[in-house]
Amino acid sequence: MEEFQGPEPGRHNTSEIRSQRKWWISVFFCGFLILTGDSLVMLLLNFYYVQNNRSENDQYQQYRGTWTQALIQNVAFPILIPLFFILPKPETVSDQTNTRHPPFLRVLLLYLSLGVLVSVYSKLYALARLYVGWGILVPAQLILTSLFSAFINRLKFNRWIIISIIFTLAADFFCAPAFSGTPTEDESYTYGIKAWLILIFPTLAFSLSLSLTQLGFERVLAKTKRYGGSNKKVFRMVLEMQIFVSFVATLVCLVGLFVSGEFKELKGESERFKKGRTYYSLSLVGLALSWQVWAVGLLGLVLSVSGLFADVVHMCASPVVALLVVLAFEFKDDDFGWQRRGALLGSVLALACYFYYLHKTKKKEMAELNKRDNNNNNSEEA
């Protein structure tokens, strides 16, 4: 699973077949991480807000604790450091080549900018979920991701990608997982321009971060000397990106936690927790680890395919997550009815369309490689 990109032209076809097989395994593995991370995050968030009596509190308390949730989303990155050093280092290019490597400042700027973006959407998503719920957040996010992918990453849309996006939007429109932190009906007066601004900015920051991450993999990390400088994409890049970006985001969230004075409320939250302080701590630790599982899977798909595909897979996990929430909690009027069953089918069709496009792309690459090899053999025989 280490290498995502196929071998250079001229190698034997068997090597190319093996490389593509590894690529497919990596894609499915990262998709599994996203599904696992999404499911655990949603289940633990619901458990956290149910046990915290959030729905019974006043308006002021309803929208507190967002810096804490933003910090939890990023703070567990140290668990990835041992894995980063365990993975083998790629071969570096010879110093005698003319390969130009991006300066250290460009890499630093990449991590700083992405870290700030991640901290922004971590904070605002935590707040937006409490203001407008879960369902309206993700569809708006995919639309923005599509636009950024077209203009920043120069992604060429075809009918299969467009059909996949349409199915994904339809599925998520009908299948938002129930969320216990959503405001109750008597708090509906809080909706308005403020709620819509809180909705727009996190989706904007998240979508932009996906496109910039893809650009950073292709234009910066893949060209550095430590990764061979030959545009190869290896899983080690995902861990490096996640560790440094999360480190910056954690620092920003810590500053926000202390400047806002929210750290003073942590004791009160642990005391309000129905299951006690032990379960309060375990729920936060579980959330932190789940967010890292999700993030590694997301960045893995950004690296191996694109930011748009990563977002599609993330959104297509919603029907499965909704089913798990129904099974785990007893929310009023929440079931897995015909709408969510249809959404599950829509997600399957969305993924099928996108995977069919990827299959056609890889098949075309193999045909071009075979053609080049045949031409080379004919030239040698002549």
Residue 234 forms beta bridges with which residues? 3
Query: Do 281 and 122 form a contact (C-beta atoms < 8 A)?
Result: no
Residue 211, C-beta contacts closer than 8 angstroms, at least 6 positions apart: 145, 148, 149, 152, 153, 307
Crossing angle for the helix pair 13-51 and 277-304, to the nearest 10 degrees: 150
Distance of CA 337 to the CA centre of its chain: 28
Query: Do 321 and 38 form a contact (C-beta atoms < 8 A)?
Result: yes
Radius of gyration of the chain (CA): 22
Alpha helices in 220-337 (DSSP H): 235-259, 266-272, 277-304, 307-316, 318-328
Burial 239-275 (b: 16+ CB within 10 A, else e): bbbbbbbbebbbebbbebbeeeebeebeeebbebbee
C-alpha to C-alpha distance for 317 and 344, rounded to whole angstroms = 9
pTM for the full predicted model = 0.90
Query: Do 94 and 229 form a contact (C-beta atoms < 8 A)?
Result: no
Among 86, 92, 32, which Cα is nearest to 239's?
86
Q: In this structure, what token pair is assigned to residue 308?
A: 């748009």
Among 246, 205, 242, 256, which Cα is nearest to 66's?
256
C-alpha to C-alpha distance for 128 and 75, rounded to whole angstroms = 20
Residue 3 forms beta bridges with which residues? 234
Q: What residue ranges of the chain have pLDDT lower than 50?
A: 1-2, 5-11, 96, 188-189
C-alpha to C-alpha distance for 149 and 143, rounded to whole angstroms = 10
- Using alpha carbons only, give the angle 103, 108, 111 rounded to the nearest 5 degrees: 135
Q: In this structure, what token pair is assigned to residue 21?
A: 């097989």
**Nearest 5°: phi and psi at 87?**
-60, 140
pLDDT at 259: 95
C-alpha to C-alpha distance for 131 and 188, rounded to whole angstroms = 9
- Euclidean distance between the first and the last CA atom of the chain, given in angstroms as a whole number: 39
pLDDT at 82: 95
C-alpha to C-alpha distance for 237 and 257, rounded to whole angstroms = 30
pLDDT at 81: 96
C-alpha to C-alpha distance for 355 and 361, rounded to whole angstroms = 10
Q: In this structure, what token pair is assigned to residue 277?
A: 């302080």
Max distance between CA atoms of the chain, in angstroms, equals 84
pLDDT at 232: 76
Residue 220, C-beta contacts closer than 8 angstroms, at least 6 positions apart: 102, 106, 107, 110
pLDDT at 231: 67
AA identity, residue 193: I
pLDDT at 96: 46
**Nearest 5°: phi and psi at 3?**
-105, 130
pLDDT at 378: 58
